[in-house]
Amino acid sequence: MNATDQPLPPNDPPPWSILVEAIESLSAARTLERIIEIVRIAARDISGADGVTFVLRDGDLCHYVDENAISPLWKGQKFPMSACISGWAMLNKRTAVIPDIYVDPRIPQDAYRPTFVKSLIMAPVRVEDPLAAIGAYWADHHLPNAHETALLESLARATAISLANVSLESSLRAATAQAVTQAEEIRTAYAEVKREAMQRQQTEEQLRQSQKMEAIGQLTGGMAHDFNNLLSVIIGNLDLLLTEKENDPTTRELAGHALEAALRGADLIRRLLAFARRQPLQPRRVDVNELVRKLATLMQRMLGEHIKVELDLSSDVWTVIVDPAQLETSLANLATNARDAMPQGGRLRIATANRYLDEDYAARHAEVIAGDYAMIEVTDTGMGIPGHLIGRIFEPFFTTKAQDKGTGLGLSMVFGFIKQSGGHINVYSEEGVGTTFRLYVPRALDEAQEPVAVPEKNAAIGKGEVVLIAEDNAEVRRVAAMQLTSLGYRVLEAGDVSTAIRALENNHVDLLLTDIIMPGGRSGYDLAHAALARWPALRIVLTSGFPDAMGKDGPALAKLPMLNKPYRKDDLARALRLALDGPPPDQAP
Ligand SMILES: Nc1ncnc2c1ncn2[C@@H]1O[C@H](COP(=O)(O)OP(=O)(O)OP(=O)(O)O)[C@@H](O)[C@H]1O
Ligand SMILES: [Mg+2]
């Protein structure tokens, strides 16, 4: 057995070895609690003292946070910096070595009297700017040697580094947590921005789509109007030809074909006008459920047995004001499309419900006004519409059907009609699953009132004829003149009978619109009399605010048309058109 094989004698590890171990542990410590724990054990082992304390600086106080001693010292207590030895060590940035506490003036002896302490060393932690101190205490008079002091100071230095690490780490942790929060905030903000951008894009797309439809509508509307005039001439002449050459079989056949084609053209134009929102409508108060119920029977017959028509009508659906015939045609168009999408059969479901389209929805859909709507939903279990085509299905002439199968005007008509009725239409479709169309028709507001049929636009418009207004009330005259100008008439004005006669003498006038009660002793009747005597072809319309203003000349002029005040522009337009297009007054029946 040689010397190296000899076991080392059992012995306490030397202080420097304990110090090295403590430094290792401190370098791994991640919390203040752990540092205190290490120090309170190591400090006592290294120094061989009867007690140690760990003191933290807390502003102007020394906080005796922990201790390890033969009997209690000051654990948990705080003392002013100026009144304790740890305060002295920290303030003076050096270690205090006190062999006999009872002769040292720096020691508050009252605080020490109850304790075992007779001598001590107090080493500051982080000498350049102390933030803690480590104290070692002996129960007898002990003059710590330089070796012991150096060991304790080394432990204090390692503690300072460890404390710095912990604070660095905790501030790092705080910074990391902050960075994570910020990243989270940025992510949320980014998601919000992205969502907004998408919504804006959607709204813009909607707007672009509706502008496109509007443009196509204007174009087709304008064209349809011109074509209608051409077709009127063609159809009119063909009619004449057919009556005149009734007995010529060749003419009959050829003109018959031509007429058929022209009538088909007229039908096409009618549908284009519907798309352009310019078809004459006859809105009436309509019970949507009743209309759908009646139509469903017809539909079932039209669609055939392989398609099952189902109804899901919610009770109390709001009444709407809409052209019932056109609504039926629209639903029939949707049903026909559904049938074509389900060649192998399937289900067609029509549901009704009340819906409130809110401001948010209105903001996202061009032309939609927020409010109450009766909704009619038509769903099929057909092939669906591919995503890239769905934006085009309402365009006129867009069809995926064979040339002789579809014109591509069915949905255009529905679209134009619903829009013209103040409503809204949308579509949801999934390929291979089916398609849902929803028609929203505005709820009728005034439950009591039946709407008046809207007169066909453009029907009573002037053609540049000259109208003389004889009216003493300048304001009434001005309004009438404006209405007439906007209706397409040329207007002359007179405030009394003699001015009116002068105007008739100096101008060509097609129609005289005269008030009955006039100033200066001469009435509108007098004016009409005088005018007719000299210009028998002149058309005359009388106006009056008094239903019984017939006066003495009444009977003689009874056959002249009378427009009661207050009248609306449409009334004026109709009265003038009737008078201008009818026979002169003297030939009137
Ligand atoms: N329910 C539906 N399922 C699947 N596709 C549909 C449906 N409704 C419409 N479509 C598609 O929209 C296109 C346009 O429909 P629209 O009714 O306007 O014209 P069409 O049916 O082709 O012809 P028309 O109605 O003039 O006879 C159709 O060709 C079809 O591709
Ligand atoms: Mg169709």
Q: How many CA atoms lie within 13 A of 87 on its CB side?
A: 16
290 or 12: which leads in pLDDT = 290
Res 264: pLDDT: 86
Measured from the CB, is residue 406 less than 6 Å from ligand 1? yes
Question: What's the whole-number mean pLDDT along residues 558-575?
Answer: 75
The H or E element containing residue 581 is helix 569-581
DSSP string, 411-459: HHHHHHHHHHTT-EEEEEEETTTEEEEEEEEEBPS-TTPPPPPPPPTTT
Rounded Cα–Cα distance for residues 539 and 584 (Å):
6
The count of other CB atoms within 10 Å of the CB of residue 90 is 24
| pLDDT tens column, 453-487 | 444 444 568 888 999 999 888 877 877 887 788 78
Rounded Cα–Cα distance for residues 217 and 133 (Å):
89
Res 450: pLDDT: 53
Question: What's the whole-number mean pLDDT along residues 322-332?
Answer: 93
Tokens of residue 559, six digits = 């056959």
Res 14: pLDDT: 86
Measured from the CB, is residue 341 less than 6 Å from ligand 1? yes
Rounded Cα–Cα distance for residues 431 and 381 (Å):
10
Alpha carbon nearest to ligand 1 atom 29, residue? 399
Q: Domains for the chain: give ranges and CATH numbers.
A: 15-171 (3.30.450.40), 284-442 (3.30.565.10), 466-587 (3.40.50.2300)
Contact in structure between 542 and 585 (CB atoms under 8 Å): no
Q: How remote is the CA of residue 369 from the centroid of ligand 2, in Å?
A: 27
* 3-state SS assignment for residue 358: coil
Mean per-residue pLDDT of the chain: 87
| pLDDT tens column, 394-407 | 999 999 999 888 88
β-pairing verdict for 434-442 and 371-380: antiparallel
As to burial, measured by CB atoms within 10 angstroms (0-12 exposed, 13-18 middle, 19+ buried), residue 37 is middle
Q: How remote is the CA of residue 213 from the centroid of ligand 1, in Å?
A: 17
The H or E element containing residue 110 is helix 109-112
In the numeric block, the tokens 């929203």 are attached to 440
256 or 278: which leads in pLDDT = 256
Measured from the CB, is residue 399 less than 6 Å from ligand 1? yes
Measured from the CB, is residue 401 less than 6 Å from ligand 1? yes
315 or 475: which leads in pLDDT = 315
Question: What's the whole-number mean pLDDT along residues 116-120?
Answer: 95
Alpha-carbon distances of 106 from 100, 109, 127, 269, rounded to whole Å: 11, 9, 19, 113
Please state which of the ranges 237-241, 525-529, 536-540, 546-550 shows the lowest mean pLDDT: 546-550
Please state which of the ranges 115-119, 276-280, 568-572 shows the lowest mean pLDDT: 568-572
Measured from the CB, is residue 391 less than 6 Å from ligand 1? no
Please state which of the ranges 96-110, 184-198, 207-221 shows the lowest mean pLDDT: 207-221
- b/e string for 110-128 if b means 16 or more Cβ within 10 A? ebbeebbbbbbbbbbbbbe
Q: At what angle do helices 288-303 and 324-341 cross, to 10 degrees?
A: 40
206 or 80: which leads in pLDDT = 80
The count of other CB atoms within 10 Å of the CB of residue 149 is 16
Tokens of residue 533, six digits = 């005597």
